[in-house]
Amino acid sequence: MALLLGLPWLMASGCEGTATSRRGDRGINTTVSHQEQTLWSPTLFWSGIRFRFELIPGQENLKPQFLHDGPRDILRIGDRQITLVRTRFKVGETFYNWPEDSVIWIYRVANRQRPFFRRQGSLQLTWIGDGKNPVVEEQQGDGTIVWTLADARVTRDPQGTVLYQGRGPDLRKSGPWNLLLDSRGERVQDSR
């Protein structure tokens, strides 16, 4: 019985993230020492796609709002929303066309005080954020993960190869990669 009562909490909880304080090449405080539990909304199925929203403490009981505004449909939880315009989704300033087997994770807006940090396999990805756009993570059915961070996209295929697309030339790497992006999504530091 106790296992059944704890199941909803486990489904809404994400993984813990830890980061150490460092400075990048441009003197930007790239990560903040923290140990926090990431909370997620239940999976919401809307317009053929599954969505999860990062919640801040105190928002665990927020209910999704499904709104209609002229030619747009809107899904909102707290201060984050997805807009469906005809057949394309819009999150922040970016439009998307996701395949139906994807799960889309909408993170809180990243900023210098609370940057986005993710470790996936041998990739360590940090974006200091721009204070206005949330990180969007697309988990595709084949195991590919795509992160959209301002003007940059970082794609990790199921074999662990990572492709950076953003300001400057595209860059593809396999193996350990510590990828740090500035507020515009430009590479500040990448080391093996």
What is the per-residue pLDDT across 22-62, written as a single tens digit (0 to 9) for each?
333 344 444 443 456 788 999 999 999 999 999 988 888 88
**pLDDT at 76 (0 to 100):** 93
**21 assigned to some structural domain:** no
* CA 132 to mean position of chain CA atoms: 13
pLDDT tens digit sequence for 74-99:
999 988 899 999 889 999 889 999 99
Q: What is the value of pTM for the model shown? A: 0.79
45 inside domain: yes
Terminal Cα-to-Cα distance of the chain (whole angstroms): 47
Res 67 pLDDT > 90? yes
- Residue 130 lies inside a defined structural domain of this protein: yes
* CA-to-CA separations, 27 to 24, 95, 116, 149, 164, in angstroms, rounded: 5, 32, 17, 20, 22
Q: Is the pLDDT of residue 152 over 90?
A: yes
Q: So what's the pLDDT on residue 51?
A: 96
Q: How far is CA 178 from CA 124, 131, 152, in A?
A: 5, 22, 16
Cα–Cα dist 20/33, whole Å: 5
Residue 93: inside a domain: no
- pLDDT at 36 (0 to 100): 60
Q: What is the number of domains present in the chain?
A: 1
Given a cut of 80, whether residue 2 has pLDDT beyond it is no
Name residue 137's beta-bridge partners. 105, 147
Mean pLDDT of 130-153: 95
Looking at the domain assignment, is residue 33 inside a domain?
A: no
Closest CA to 39 of 64, 65, 61: 61
- Domain of 172 in residue numbering reads as 38-60+99-191
